[in-house]
Structure 1
Amino acid sequence: MRKIILDLAVTLDGFIEGPNGETDWCIMDDDMNFNEFLDSIDTIFYGRVSYDSWGTYQPEENAGPEEKEFWDTIHSKNKYVFSSQARKDSGAVFVSSDIAEKVTEIRAQPGKDIWLYGGAGLIKTFIYLNLIDIYRISVHPIALGSGKPLFENLKERLELNLITTNTFRSGVVQLIYESKNK
């Protein structure tokens, strides 16, 4: 069965966004080898706001070939958007009800793993429904003091097994866990 992987940047104090939605603190080092992660997935799960911001994003015309290739790779993936608003979109399938059932159906299909992109509301829903198999949390060397926390109002403990850690030149530390609750 395909795994759902939350791959996400967080600040040292546990925020996934600043108080105004800012993510300008995120670092993408070339030694992070994010392309390897992208090669391991063929599907991306978005919330509607994240999809509207990034799911169809196109780099500017003067962007370099690496950035254009990066976005071409992202846009080559199957996309599902979880939203209370049903909508037709040629680039994605919108899911507006029965999230756990639909996710189980998608996971059972043949293919590579699935990236739970977010946003915050969708991530919380997947945590509450115990749908995340792997947590790839990249802790960035910055504290914001406020913003949207990754873990908020958990109904029960979230127990994880550490699989591995990776440290990058920038000081970002990636922690990869699997869920014990599965």
Structure 2
Amino acid sequence: MRKVIVSTYMTLDGRVDEIQEWAVAYNDDRAAKYHSDLLMNSDGLLLGRNTYEIFATLWPSLKGELPYINKLNSMVKYVASTTLKALSWENSHLIEGDVAEGVAKLKQQPGQDLVLYGCHGLMHSLLEHNLIDEYRILVHPILLAKGRSFLKDGAERVNLDLVDTTALGGGVTILTYQPVR
């Protein structure tokens, strides 16, 4: 069975807003290798509308620059949205009907893992239905003190096991957790 892996950036105080304003300064060769390894071991992306719109305007224009960017552009993208009617990014498909049901079916299909970038609406929906198998949180050494937290207020508690830690450059640490089932 395929795994759903959430990969997201977070500040030390648990904030996930305005990523483009603080995370870019920490992107180095080790971060690129992390993303490359993650994508090369995956064959599908799960994206909410907001993340899709950001990615679809950025990544196609960078085609050819790095192998992981080429992989990101060419791999299948499953988009959860009730407002988008057409998707322009290559190999993008809307998840029709109930998103949790659609992702559960994708997990049952043969193939490599599914990566979910971002941590808002889609992640919360999959979390509520116990469809997330792993969290890879890239914790950045920043205290933002404002913005959205990783989990929305009122979310159910989730117990996790720490299964790996990886230090990147600039004080960024990848914490890999799996839900206690």
TM-score category, normalised to shorter length: 0.7 to 0.9
Over 3 Å counting, the alpha-carbon distance change for 1:100 and 1:64 in structure 2 is closer
Q: Give 1 or 2: higher helix fraction.
A: 2
> TM-score, structure 1 length as denominator?
0.86
| Counterpart in the other structure of 2:11 | 11
Q: Does the aligned pair in 2 maintain the 1:41–1:115 contact within 8 Å? A: yes
Q: Does the aligned pair in 1 maintain the 2:138–2:175 contact within 8 Å? A: yes
In structure 1, distance between residues paired with 2:12 and 2:117: 20
| Counterpart in the other structure of 1:55 | 56
Q: Does the aligned pair in 2 maintain the 1:56–1:75 contact within 8 Å? A: no
Amino acid at match of 1:28: N
For 1:39-59, what per-residue CA distance to the aligned partner results, in whole angstroms no more than 9, with x for missing partners? 111100111121111135346
Amino acid at match of 2:52: Y
Q: Does the aligned pair in 1 maintain the 2:47–2:122 contact within 8 Å? A: yes
| Counterpart in the other structure of 2:83 | 85
| Counterpart in the other structure of 2:30 | 31
Amino acid at match of 2:135: Y
Q: Is 1:156 paired with 2:156?
A: yes
Q: Does the aligned pair in 2 maintain the 1:85–1:96 contact within 8 Å? A: no
In structure 1, distance between residues paired with 2:95 and 2:72: 20
Shift of 1:97: 2.4
Q: Does the aligned pair in 2 maintain the 1:44–1:114 contact within 8 Å? A: yes
Shift of 1:104: 1.2
Over 3 Å counting, the alpha-carbon distance change for 1:65 and 1:82 in structure 2 is closer
Q: Does the aligned pair in 2 maintain the 1:8–1:136 contact within 8 Å? A: yes
- Structure 2 unaligned residues grouped into runs of 5+: none
In structure 2, distance between residues paired with 1:88 and 1:150: 29
Q: Does the aligned pair in 1 maintain the 2:11–2:141 contact within 8 Å? A: yes
In structure 1, distance between residues paired with 2:155 and 2:10: 21
> TM-score, structure 2 length as denominator?
0.87
Q: What's the % identity of the aligned pairs?
A: 34
What is the RMSD of the two structures over their aligned residues, measured on CA atoms? Answer: 2.1
Shift of 1:154: 4.2
Q: What is the DSSP-based 3-state SS (H/G/I as helix, E as strand, rest coil) of the residue aligned with 2:146? A: coil
Amino acid at match of 1:57: L
Query: Which segments of structure 1 move beyond 3 Å, counting only runs of 4 or more?
Result: 63-67
The 5 A counterparts of 1:3-152 are: 3-18=3-18, 22-26=19-23, 27-32=26-31, 33-34=33-34, 35-58=36-59, 66-67=65-66, 69-85=67-83, 87-89=85-87, 91=90, 92-118=92-118, 120-152=120-152
Over 3 Å counting, the alpha-carbon distance change for 1:109 and 1:56 in structure 2 is farther
In structure 1, distance between residues paired with 2:160 and 2:113: 19
